[in-house]
Chains A and B, each alone.
Chain A
Amino acid sequence: MTLNNELLIRVEKCLENVKDPEIPSVSVVDLGMIEEIKILDFNKIHIKALPTFLGCPALEIIRKNITEAILQISEVTSVEVEFIYHPPWTSDRISEDGKERLKQFGIAPPPVFNDEIQEWKVECPYCGSYYTTMENLFGPTACRSILYCKACKNPFEAMKPISNLM
């Protein structure tokens, strides 16, 4: 294994600890936000990341957190985080682990969007029931909606599905 490969693995590990500032159980890797990691000359790290929502105010915090986390690795001389728009981030980029961790935090992962009926069914993250209703398409952040579970009587949030079909 070359030295560069070793460093790459350490950078990847590091990114797993960079959490979403508003959902502390999921990392930027879980969310599928990391598109490319490059090690340039003199161990400069260049990261290409995909923003989930364009107006997301957390983006600059995420950029800063990624930079600070990777700079902890002693060999790394500098870090640049570039936000790119191609490919666009879609909610199917969230990993299976990421979906589980969203549920642990009380947020339903993005449901599968049914293009034919233009609608989706959301599973309650607390009791697993599908007997849920949408209270508000828009929630505390651009990427989430507010729902209510009629089975266990809990309000909860769900990540909005974002797909190329829309």
Chain B
Amino acid sequence: MKRKSCHGEECSVEQQIENKEFKQVLIELLYQLADDDFILAYRGSEWLGLAPHIEEDIAYASINQATMGHAVMYYELLESLGEGTADELAHSRKAESRKNAILLEMANGTGTYLNQPKYDWAFTVVRHYFYDIYKKLKLESLKQSSFEPLAHAATKMKMEQYYHIMHWKVWFNQLCLSSGEGKTRMRAAIQKVWNEFSGVLSYGPNGKLMFDNGLIDAEQTFKKQWETEMKKVFEEISMPYPGEPKSKKGNGREGFHTEDLQDALATLSEVYTFDPQATW
């Protein structure tokens, strides 16, 4: 991957963002990264008080707080590029302008937080574990990014990501290696996550330009790394690798989303829209 991006010369952050194409694809990439972490942290926070036991409640709250902190970092980078304040970017954007993968917006299960939350812990464990493995690799790639502020942010985030993966790995392996209901539900959850994971791996319509500008590894290179890592995951639980992941519900990077996102945005921005001027 190229570190330099001003016609082969080292150049400053200011010079980089004077380049229209560079700035545009950088912004698109940042939206994908920010929106992914933001919506998954929101889904995670919907488990507060409902997690399987109290230690898990504490752990998961901590993970969501960190993931939300990562989303804030990306939104702040967008703020520095003139996209609006981080708060606006997180709360006020309509579903169509969000760039998160559809897998991450999917509801935790049936019911709502306040009314019969029949959430699926197996789905939560699988979605989080697979996403966190993906995110670790993405951060490794971003550490080499041509946009230095992003490279620095990625370096910091990756240190925290280490603990998230460690946590989900324990849940994932123990449930998959269990017998009876645990195993059956994990298999179903793996299938459900696999049906949409291709959307997470997508760089969207400008993926090639992201690579050309040295922002991140090429989409295909990245996908191969991810596959290698995932094959190890399936080997550990002695399950066959499920083959190519799909994106049955569409590509969130292109602005396609489901009702689940609309509902989530309506709930999470309720207080903000009530009084956008409020200070926290």
A124-166 toward B: CB 8 Å interface, digit per residue (1/0)? Answer: 0000000000011111111000100000000000001011101
Question: In the complex, are the beta carbons of A86 and B66 less than 8 A apart?
Answer: no
Is B156 located at the chain interface by the 8 A CB criterion?
Answer: yes
B: contact size bracket: 20 to 34
Question: In the complex, are the beta carbons of A54 and B152 less than 8 A apart?
Answer: no
A160 to chain B: closest residue by CB: B163
B63 to chain A: closest residue by CB: A138
A141 to chain B: closest residue by CB: B62
Chain B residue numbers with a CB within 8 Å of A162 are 159-160
CA distance A90 to B167 in the complex (A): 20
Chain B residue numbers with a CB within 8 Å of A105 are none
Question: In the complex, are the beta carbons of A166 and B158 less than 8 A apart?
Answer: yes
Is B155 located at the chain interface by the 8 A CB criterion?
Answer: yes
Interface SS of chain A: loop
A43-70 toward B: CB 8 Å interface, digit per residue (1/0)? Answer: 0000000000111110000000000000
Is A120 located at the chain interface by the 8 A CB criterion?
Answer: no
B71 to chain A: closest residue by CB: A55
Is B73 located at the chain interface by the 8 A CB criterion?
Answer: yes
CA distance A85 to B63 in the complex (A): 20
B157 to chain A: closest residue by CB: A54
A: contact size bracket: 20 to 34
Question: In the complex, are the beta carbons of B70 and A55 less than 8 A apart?
Answer: yes
Is A88 located at the chain interface by the 8 A CB criterion?
Answer: yes
Known: A137-B59, A138-B62. A55 touches B68 (CB 8 A): yes
Minimum CB–CB distance for B168 against chain A, Å? 11
The 5 closest A-B pairs by CB, nearest first: A55-B69, A138-B59, A54-B69, A166-B162, A86-B152
Chain A to chain B contacts (Cβ below 8 Å), 10 pairs: A85-B149, A85-B153, A88-B152, A88-B159, A90-B159, A136-B55, A137-B167, A142-B62, A163-B159, A164-B159
User: Footprint of B on A, CB under 8 Å?
Assistant: 53-57, 85-86, 88-90, 135-142, 146, 160, 162-164, 166
User: Footprint of A on B, CB under 8 Å?
Assistant: 55, 58-63, 65-70, 72-73, 148-149, 152-153, 155-160, 162-163, 166-167
